Amino acid sequence: MEKPLTSWGRYPVVECNQESFVFTEQLEKLADRSEDFIPRGNGRSYGDSALGKRALTTLKFDKILSFDTAKGVFECQPGITLSDVLQVIVPQGWFLRVTPGTKLITVGGAVGSNVHGKNHRTEGSFSRHIIDMDVRLASNEEITCSPTQNTDLFEATCGGMGLTGMVTRVKFRLKKIETSYIRQKQIKAQNLDELLSLFDKYQHYSYTVAWIDCLTKGKNSGRGILTVGEHAAFSELIEEQKKEPLKLPSNKKLNFPFTLPAWVLNTFTVKAFNFLYYLKNYKKEMDSVVLYDPVFYTLDAINNWNRMYGKAGFVQYQFVMPLESRQGLVEILNRIGEKGMGSFLTVLKVLGKQESMISFCREGYTLALDFPLRKGVLEFLDELDEIVLKYGGRIYITKDARMKPDMLKNYPELDKFKDIVKKYNPDGKIRSAQSDRLLLTEPK
Amino acid sequence: METVLVLGATSDIGIAIARKFAAAGYNIQLAARKPEQLDAVKSDIEIRSGVSCSTHAFDAVKYDSHAAFFNGIKPDITIAVFGTMYEEEDAFNDWSLAETMINTNYTGAVSILNIAARHYTTQQRGTIIGISSVAGDRGRASKLVYGSSKAAFSAYLAGLRNKCFKDNVHVMTVKPGFVYTRMTENLKLPAPLTSTPDEVATIVYNGFKAGKNTIYVKWFWRYIMLIIKNIPEFQFKKMKL
Ligand SMILES: Cc1cc2nc3c(=O)[nH]c(=O)nc-3n(C[C@H](O)[C@H](O)[C@H](O)COP(=O)(O)OP(=O)(O)OC[C@H]3O[C@@H](n4cnc5c(N)ncnc54)[C@H](O)[C@@H]3O)c2cc1C
Ligand SMILES: NC(=O)c1ccc[n+]([C@@H]2O[C@H](COP(=O)([O-])OP(=O)(O)OC[C@H]3O[C@@H](n4cnc5c(N)ncnc54)[C@H](OP(=O)(O)O)[C@@H]3O)[C@@H](O)[C@H]2O)c1
């Protein structure tokens, strides 16, 4: 039955028939039917990548198949969330090698978007750590692929937005940890130049990320706070923490109880929030040892925080600019400052080298900004697109809900990717609202 | 640690219940018609919870196999989750469908739970939990055969509770209202009245710990059904329910 469905940005709304499965036989039957479909995980992509006429939801296909606690190898069905994975591996002294800024995504979604974390320079994207995986193709045949087996399928599935088929099993490597704590340092920067030089100065840290205030104009434009971190060794914990070095964070959460009216988040409140956020770090530099949750998953502490942006929803605009195109970053920040179309929380990260076919990640600076949907926003984002293109940047497909197909031209292996999709999904049976919009599948 | 047998372990509610008891440290026996389907559920439960878990072949309507099946594994707690629901209009016209519902939901349940109850009363210890349904609380057109099979099952569980009490055996009846499962995926269910399999599992586990007799999931279904049960028949028979 078709019902209105959205992903995390609550825009766009698509009439979608969602179907789930617990056993392979059930998936087989669903995939055998003639209607098109798109694989869907936990719908944490922001736009329309996991939306279509029919979505096959993996959330009940979430079983752990094996966990080698000596070698740190984990094997599972795609519907398990990273949160559930952590719950099992952390007490055994293991961690995810790559994690995005929320743990409420599925392993299938991590593959589909080939997600990156705050350690892209050192660890790459999620798929770098995959040993092998199974993919159910449009023909309903299931095949195994890896960096050495059926390599074209493997490469096009990592970051392929579900278009090569449904990932049904993933085996990947974990990272050994002594404790579940992070030793972090936070440093304030007065403007973008200082912030970027801090990134350079602290690049030997595993994890680096900055919050930036995008509404301050002039000489303080781009001021922010850089956070860098390392997994803490046992000896770095205080006595209290040593009692349970592999402690799991509590699962208690706040809930954002209702959808805020759109006017509440206006330039003034966003400015005030960012001002206070900047001030909360009263010292230039602060050190602490904290559990991993607040460092990696700040926003997960509030359920349904996406309601904050009002009924119409919001789009997240995440782009990457090549390292040498700092000017592009400045131009975009200036445009946003001028427009006063401020984003509540703006995150800046540095990415390492591109390593897979269709992945968003390439060496450069990436900025993620939220824009509540209101009049003029979509047009404004089109303007930003031009700047991104001009400087050789790209937009992160998994966050996108609105760009034009042209924006994909800075993905260097786009044509190769499309060819592989065609090989494994020849009639475009697997398609999403997004793949239709971006012409990744041929329109019907 | 004690062992829990889940009969009908391929259902969404069955898997959720198995995970819940495993997380609390119970060893798990999963039983279903196609036990080979349960390999992934078994590894999942063992890895998540560190308990031991086994899978077993069980068919509710193969009554003759029940004694050997049960006596081969002798769990401490037996939970009957299996059940079948067909379109009532189809079942009205096709006896084989009606018969399958009756035989699965009622006859098969009585067959296996009698065997469990005999074992538990002999050893003066044990627990039986049956997943019935609010649909059994009052007969109505839209749940004609399914509802009456669940009504019979609920009455059986109440009788069994009464019979086994003196032998220190506890019987708990669970009556879910709407639950989001594959059984109901294509129905439009009213969100505030509908629970998830995980919610059902938590309520079943807490009810078991508290030694409850009959629990409704969610709790307000008790009152909804109370009202429905109290509508006079001369009025009720004219309603579309
Ligand atoms: C608060 C927040 C922070 C985030 N931070 C980051 C970040 O730091 N880095 C980052 O990279 N991303 C980040 N993201 C984006 C998010 O990690 C990705 O969108 C991720 O793919 C979502 O996973 P999901 O399980 O919700 O998948 P969905 O949103 O349901 O699907 C996403 C895509 O994956 C495909 N897919 C899902 N399951 C399968 C499968 N089994 N087989 C094949 N394809 C499949 C879908 O078809 C779709 O194209 C963030 C998102 C949020 C909400
Ligand atoms: N969903 C609801 O809204 C709801 C509401 C009230 C009560 N309930 C009750 O909750 C229980 C679980 O239902 P569900 O919603 O989770 O539905 P479900 O997924 O359809 O589960 C039904 C289960 O019963 C099993 N089964 C059917 N016939 C069997 C037989 N002859 N022998 C052994 N097992 C058999 C099925 O096994 P196979 O995999 O072998 O088919 C399946 O595991 C049922 O008793 C149902 O009546 C459900």
Closest-CA residue of B relative to A67 is: B47
Label residue A96 by pLDDT band (50, 70, 90): very high
pLDDT at residue A380 is higher than 80: yes
User: pLDDT band at residue A220, thresholds of 50, 70 and 90?
Assistant: confident
Q: How many domains does chain A have?
A: 2
pLDDT tens digit sequence for A133-161: 999 999 999 999 999 999 999 999 999 99
Write out pLDDT tens, residues A302-330. 888 888 888 899 999 999 999 999 999 99
Q: Which residues of chain B have pLDDT under 70?
A: none
- Among B10, B30, B44, B198, most A C-beta atoms within 10 A, so best to mutate, is B44
Question: In this structure, are A283 and A334 located in the same domain?
Answer: yes
Verdict on whether the full-model pTM lies above 0.90:
yes
Instruction: Give the integer Cα–Cα distance in Å for A137 and B159.
Output: 53
**B130 within ligand 2 shell (Cβ under 6 A):** no
Task: List, in order, residues 6 or more apart from A390 with CB less than 8 Å away.
Answer: A328
Distance CA(A343)–CA(A399), nearest Å, equals 15
Q: How far is A328 from chain B (nearest CA, A)?
A: 47
- B169-180 pLDDT, tens per residue? 999 999 999 999
Token digits of residue A389: 């293109």
Does residue A307 share a domain with residue A378? yes
Which residues in chain B have Cβ-Cβ distances shorter than 8 Å to A62?
Answer: 44
Residues of A in contact with B15 (CB under 8 A): 22
What one-letter code names the amino acid at A332?
I
Reduce the DSSP state of residue A426 to 3 states and report it: coil
Give residue A155 CA to ligand 1 midpoint distance, Å: 17
A255 and A156 in a common domain: no
Distance, first Cα to last Cα, chain A = 22
Domain with A145, as residue range(s), is: 64-177
Q: Does A77 touch chain B (CB under 8 A)?
A: yes
- Domain total for chain B? 1
Could B182 and A26 be called an inter-chain contact, meaning their C-beta atoms sit closer than 8 Å? yes
Q: ∠A152-A157-A161 over CA atoms, to 5°?
A: 145
Q: Please, which residues have CB within 8 angstroms of residue A388's CB and are 6 or more apart in sequence?
A: A319, A321, A328, A332, A394, A395, A407, A410
Clarify whether residues A166 and A216 are in a common domain. Answer: no
- Which atom of ligand 1 lies at the shortest distance from residue A50's CA? 48
Nearest atom (ligand 2) to Cα of B189: 3
Whether A239 and A343 share a structural domain: yes
Mutate which of A57, A64, A83 to disrupt the B interface (most B C-beta within 10 Å)?
A64
What angle (nearest 5°) sits at the alpha carbon of residue B215, between those of residues B200 and B54? Answer: 50
A231 and A371 co-located in one domain: yes
> What b/e readout covers B40-58, taking b as 16+ CB neighbours within 10 angstroms?
bbbbbbbbbbebebbbbeb
Half-sphere exposure at residue A331, Cβ-oriented, CA atoms within 13 angstroms: 15
CA distance A64 to chain B (A): 4
pLDDT at A342 over 70: no
Domain range for residue B17? Answer: 3-236
Beta-ladder partners of A188: A225
Q: What is the mean pLDDT of residues A378-392?
A: 96
* Among A118, A147, A177, residue at a domain's last position: A177
Determine the Cα–Cα distance for residues A226 and A195; give it in Å rounded to an integer: 7
- Kindly identify the ligand whose nearest atom is closest to the C-alpha of B195: 2
Residue A324, CA distances (Å) to A190, A201, A330, A355, B65 in order: 22, 17, 12, 19, 74
Does residue A430 lie within any of the structural domains? no
Q: Which of A156, A141, A166, A161 lies closest to A418, judged by CA?
A: A156
Q: Does residue A21 form part of some domain? A: no
The CA A46 to ligand 1 mean position distance, Å, reads 8
Interacting residues of A148 by C-beta distance below 8 A, sequence separation 6+: none
**Residue pLDDT, tens place only, A230-281:** 999 999 999 999 999 999 998 877 787 778 777 777 777 777 777 777 777 7
C-alpha count within 13 angstroms, C-beta hemisphere, residue A422: 10
pLDDT band at A7 (very low <50, low <70, confident <90, very high): very high
* Domain CATH code at residue B188: 3.40.50.720
Ligand 2: which of B12, B29, B33 to mutate, judged by most atoms within 8 Å of the beta carbon?
B33
Are A189 and A209 in the same domain?
yes
Report the C-alpha gap between B85 and B88 in whole angstroms.
Answer: 8
CATH code of A138's domain = 3.30.465.10
Same domain, residue pair A276 and A223 = yes
Atom of ligand 1 nearest to the CA of A347: 8
Q: Which residues of B touch A (CB under 8 A)?
A: 10, 12, 15, 37, 40-41, 43-44, 47-48, 182, 185-186, 188
Whether residues A83 and A156 fall in one domain: yes
What is the interface pTM, i.e. ipTM, of the complex?
0.93
Nearest Cα residue to atom 9 of ligand 1: A100
Residue B124, CA atoms < 13 Å, CB-side half-sphere: 1
Q: Which two tokens stand for residue A31?
A: 């995939």
Distance B39 CA to ligand 2 centre (A): 19
Residues A68 and A210 in one domain: no
Closest CA to A227 of A299, A285, A273, A291: A285
In a domain, A27, yes or no: no
The SS3 assignment for A175 reads strand
